[in-house]
Structure 1
């Protein structure tokens, strides 16, 4: 089977969140048995130099090159450059629209940029004659709409990674979608008086998926449907929740070259101690006590991640022995609060603004616990990474977090600590339970259990295969 994925992110070239890691690890697994291609933008700030093959492809179908419109001229001046990574063919969309960008999101004209990219991905799928076209999030949703309206449609799958970001734009900004080469009827994409790219993907795809069973159920009702739950209910029989997996070559305490000392479930105490000691030296906190539990936090500092709840719980539970290391950037108010704590209580709190892949691995390896206070979480990957590194997750009971972390007396071994979202008291009590667990003999049992959980892609790949088959059967 020939599969083309279209995405705005792909690790290690463009990474802003979990989409990049998810797609890179999924396609790596798929490439073991299928022909797998990925289309992504060619931005100026790529995280790695691609291994070019020398092949190029146009970004415009010849049948659509018959007008003199601005859109056609932009696409004619663009092209795909082919590269290869871990058995996957990569197609970088080289265009003036993206070439000058150092980051992929947050630009005023992204409604136009991603529309052009979506058309180019659709055109590439036609040229490559793939069996399945798989688009990810609103940035590539229009490519699915183009497939549906094509005289030669390719079976399509649309994956929702985060319904909070929908790519909704005023209709006066998206009038170009009615012109050549799009020729789209945009009225069905109307949501609250705007052209909603996410809705276009939901209505147009042969099959729809999201990244965990728990998040699927949450998005079928408001407010977690962010206004689109009625659309998802209309497509409920075509809507699947498939839990993400992780790349065990990238995230593996046994072989990770980024951490200070590798370890297994048999010598995890020695490994944790060494990694914690060296991490404290690297961040300038060598005076922190090694016998106090270290809690790691990594992520974008956005409303979704629930950091205000964490701040309140931390201050209310100052008496606990926990130390905290935070890596992330985003909301300026949250950043300022974290900087303030890092300066005023350096014996308890450390904050690194930005993202650093190597430091993220070191924090996972050194931490005794890993906190994810999300208000909602489509899947989450860090709780799975934490399992692999013996860092016990403390998570809110939402989305993919509740699918992957359980705390129950009915279980032989718990796989983490769970609290209620947006509840300061519940999070505070979870931190207290973490303190008790850190000192107990049960911790050794829990750590050995979570380090042997299987979060690989092998099972999930088969679930995607079934979705692809359903989409192909619908097309016949």
Structure 2
């Protein structure tokens, strides 16, 4: 089967969140048995230099080449450059729209930029004659509408990674979608008086997936549907929740070259102690106590991730012996709050602003616990990384977190500590339980069990195969 993925992110070239990791690890697994291609933008600052093959492909279909319009002139001046990565082909969309960018999001004219990228991905799927076209999030959703209206439509799958971001723009800004070469009827994409790219993907795809069964259920009603739950309820038979997997070669404490010392479930105590000691040295905090619980937090500092809840809880539970290391960036107020804690309480708190892949691995290896206080979480990957590294997750009971972390007296063993979202009392009690667990013999049982959980892509890849088969058999 020939599969083309279209995405704004792909690790290690462009990474802003879990989408990049998810797609890189999924395609790596798929490429073992399928012919896999990935289309992504070529921005000015990539995380890694591609291995170019020297081949180029047009970003415009031949039948649209003679049209006289601004859109066609932009696409004529653009192209796809082919590269190879771990047994699959990457197609970088080279265009002036993206090449001046040092990051993929947060720029003006995103409505036009990602519309051009979506058309180019649609064109590439037709040129490559793939069997399935798989688009990810709103940035590539218009390619599904183009595919649906094509004379020769290719079966399509649309994956929602985060419904909170929908790519909705005033209709006066998107009038070009009615013109050549798009020729789209945009009125069905109307949501609250705006042209909603995410809605276009939901209405147009043959099959829809999201990244966990729990999040699927949450998005079928408000407020987690973010206004589009009614659209998803119309497509429930075509809507699947498939839990993400992780790259067990990239995230594996037995072979991880980024951490200070490798380890397994057989010697996890010694491994974590060594990694904790060396991390404290690298942080410039060598005097931090090694016998106190270390809690790691990594992620975008946004409202969604529940960091205000954590900050309030931290203030209320100052008596706890926990030390905290935070890696992330985002909301300026959140950054300032973490910076102040790092400066005023250096014996308790350390904050690194930004993102650093190596440091993320070191935090996972050194931490005794890993905190994810999300208000909603489509899937989450760090709780799975934490299991693999023997860092017991402390998570809110939402989305993919409740699908992957369980705490109950009825279970043979717990896989973490669970609390209610946006509830400082519940989170505070969870941190109290973490203190007790850290000091108990049960911790050794829990750590060894979670380090043997299988979060690989093998099973999830088979679930995507079934979705692809449905898309082929049940084309809209």
TM-score range, shorter chain: over 0.9
CA positional deviation for 1:108:
1.2
CA positional deviation for 1:88:
1.2
Runs of 4+ in 1 over 3 A off after TM superposition: none
Q: Deviation digits for residues 228-260 of structure 1, max 9, x if unmatched?
A: 000000000000000000000100010000000
Helix, strand or coil: the match of 2:393? strand
Give the alignment of 1:27-426 within 5 angstroms: 27-426=27-426
Distance 2:203 2:183 in 1: 17
Distance 2:413 2:262 in 1: 24
Q: Deviation digits for residues 426-469 of structure 1, max 9, x if unmatched?
A: 00000000000000000000000000000000000000000000
CA positional deviation for 1:65:
1.2
CA positional deviation for 1:68:
1.5
User: Match for residue 470 of structure 1?
Assistant: 470
User: Match for residue 4 of structure 2?
Assistant: 4
Q: Deviation digits for residues 281-302 of structure 1, max 9, x if unmatched?
A: 0011101000000000000001
Distance 2:128 2:67 in 1: 24
Distance 1:107 1:432 in 2: 42
CA positional deviation for 1:369:
0.0
What is the aligned residue count?
Answer: 476
TM-score normalised over the length of structure 2: 1.00
CA positional deviation for 1:475:
2.7
Distance 1:393 1:297 in 2: 10
Distance 2:366 2:200 in 1: 43
Distance 1:416 1:88 in 2: 36
* Structure 2: gaps (5+ residues): none
Q: Deviation digits for residues 181-223 of structure 1, max 9, x if unmatched?
A: 0000000000000000000000000000000000000000000
Helix, strand or coil: the match of 2:141? helix
Distance 2:278 2:397 in 1: 33
Helix, strand or coil: the match of 2:474? helix
Q: Alignment RMSD, CA only? A: 0.5
Distance 2:24 2:39 in 1: 12
CA positional deviation for 1:407:
0.3
Helix, strand or coil: the match of 1:230? helix
Distance 1:263 1:99 in 2: 41
Helix, strand or coil: the match of 1:195? strand
Distance 1:428 1:218 in 2: 25
